[in-house]
Amino acid sequence: MTAKEKTEKKIFVLDTNVILHDYNSITKFAEHDVRIPSTVIQELDTFKKGNETINVNVREFHRTLKRLRETKVEKEFTTGKAGNKHSIVVKKMVPALSHGGVSLGEGLGKIELIRLPKDLHPLVKAQFFHPTPDNWILSSVLEIEEQQNKGQKRRVILVTKDFNLQAKADLLGIEVQDYENDKVPNIESLYMGRGELVHEGLLSLIDLLYKSGKALIFDQDYSEYINKEELKPNKFFVIKTNNKSCLVRVDVNMEYFQKVEKTTVAGISPLNSEQVFSVSALMNKDINLVTLMGKAGTGKTLLAMATGIQQIKDNKYDRIIVAAAMVPLSNRDIGALPGSADEKVSPYMQGLFDNLAFIQSQMKGPKIDLIVEHQEAVNTKRKSQKKTPTTVEKVDYLTSLQKDGKLKIQPLASIRGRSLNNTYFVIDEAQNLTPHEVKTIITRAGKNTKIVFCGDVEQIDSPYLDARSNGLSHAIYRLAGKKIVAHVTLVKGERSELANLAADLL
């Protein structure tokens, strides 16, 4: 980029999906001006009601516009037909937001709401025919380009996360960009949370770890074989020589290697080093947030659920909540499905129930006595004021947790507005969340709460997210190396040879 391009003040025209993705997006364009066509405001109006993140985003954006609208500017208006001797010029104070724009602050650009052209631009009409919102936005961009002073022409750039609109803009010669502000720089170099240290000179370190369980990292005879730049708090390593190996975690102060032991949780045993690292992070009470990323069959969700159940059993948390970031196929809303709320979400949660059933099959132990109230007696309890008849039912441990309300599998939307205390909270399919949604979930965490995000950034269902812009990648990138956070990327599939083959090749 040339020095001229860096200092050139541009005009960015925002599509509706940019605001739905990030209601604060208008503040992310530095000294450049932002313009929003009126058709975007109209589209946003249809999203303002509801409890989903996009509905909240629209309401927050509207609050921002309301504040900006308070800035007034004097404008002249002509009554009657222009040029008529009876016409009168009247001065009025009007919102600057829709008459020239409002500055967002010192050194920042202006935001302006703009009217649509009187008709679709001829180039748009010739290609796409119909007056759809996208086509009105394209016409607005072309009109802005034509209005620019030829001597001081500014670049006009359409910003959208919609690939179809990007393709249309390309056909019309309009400069178009994705909204990049919250994208990680490079998915290939995203923090993996684990690594390898391989050298024969590390033999004494391995021996010390097996003897003492921990070893100093620096100022030792083996320290010269350790790349200090690779170290981060809570990062895991496989330390290897030709004949020996050891699994370790870097302590939060990066002074020691802590030996990591293989631990069985709720009847589930880790099958490889990545899974051992995952269980170690999930069991560590000093780690409040764990992110697990990996393709299907690597065991991330199963281990997250099993570890939570184990810690409920050990009385480390009061309850476990497991939720999934649901994106129905073809964007079909769950309200279109028949049945109760639980029945509506059940098809999207079936993978979680399958994992729970597998854990249930692996857990061993005696049946638990569960006191069950007779439903008819419960219904008449208030009227009779008598003791409710009960029976004792023999159930397994997981069934008792579910009936006691200590284990819940539910849609993610149900936690909005709640503060979660003494809770082990697992969010599956986290790659379908936006960065703002991930932030919202993390801020729900109260005292003694662990949050676990599981997902695969190669399997994104949301139409406006990709491997670099989704909330899971964003969290991994932003929180890597923090003392209360751990991450593990799992690569090795353990489901079956067929599943691994499909994951790799199909």
Q: Residue 322: what are its φ and ψ, rounded to 5°?
A: -120, 125
Choosing from 128, 146, 177, the residue where a domain stops is 177
Residue 82 domain-assigned (yes or no): no
CATH number of the CATH domain containing 247:
2.40.240
Instruction: Give the dihedral sign, CA 129/135/140/141.
Output: negative
Residue 83 domain-assigned (yes or no): no
Residue 2 domain-assigned (yes or no): no
Contact between 56 and 42 (Cβ < 8 Å): no
* Predicted TM-score (pTM) of this structure: 0.79
For the chain, the domain total comes to 3
Contact between 30 and 109 (Cβ < 8 Å): yes
Site of tokens 């030709």? 242
Q: Which two structure tokens, joined as six digits, stand for 205?
A: 């370190």
| 149 pLDDT more than 80 | no
Let me know whether 397 and 360 are in one domain.
yes
Contact between 274 and 298 (Cβ < 8 Å): yes
| 124 pLDDT more than 60 | yes
Per-residue CA distances from 263 to 271, 282, 319 (Å): 10, 11, 21
Q: Which amino acid is at 54?
A: I
Per residue in 48-61, pLDDT (tens digit) is: 988 777 888 899 99
Let me know whether 253 and 385 are in one domain.
no
Cα 369 to chain centroid distance, Å, stands at 40
Residue 85 domain-assigned (yes or no): no
What per-residue confidence (pLDDT) applies to 226? 95
258-262, 359-363, 437-441, range with greatest mean pLDDT: 258-262
Let me know whether 241 and 369 are in one domain.
no
What per-residue confidence (pLDDT) applies to 497? 72
Site of tokens 């854990």? 359
What per-residue confidence (pLDDT) applies to 1? 46
Average pLDDT taken over every residue of the chain = 86
Choosing from 177, 212, 231, the residue where a domain stops is 177
| 82 pLDDT more than 80 | no
Let me know whether 282 and 170 are in one domain.
no
- Written as one string, the DSSP assignment of 271-319 is -SHHHHHHHHHHH-TT--EEEEEE-TTS-HHHHHHHHHHHHHHTTS-SE
CATH number of the CATH domain containing 360:
3.40.50.300
What per-residue confidence (pLDDT) applies to 331? 39
Per residue in 341-373, pLDDT (tens digit) is: 455 556 666 778 888 888 888 887 666 555 555
| 389 pLDDT more than 70 | no
What per-residue confidence (pLDDT) applies to 352? 83
pLDDT: is 184 or 182 the higher one?
A: 184
16-30, 247-261, 363-377, 484-498, range with greatest mean pLDDT: 247-261
Domain coverage including residue 197 = 182-261
Let me know whether 497 and 451 are in one domain.
yes
Cα 436 to chain centroid distance, Å, stands at 7
Choosing from 119, 152, 177, the residue where a domain stops is 177
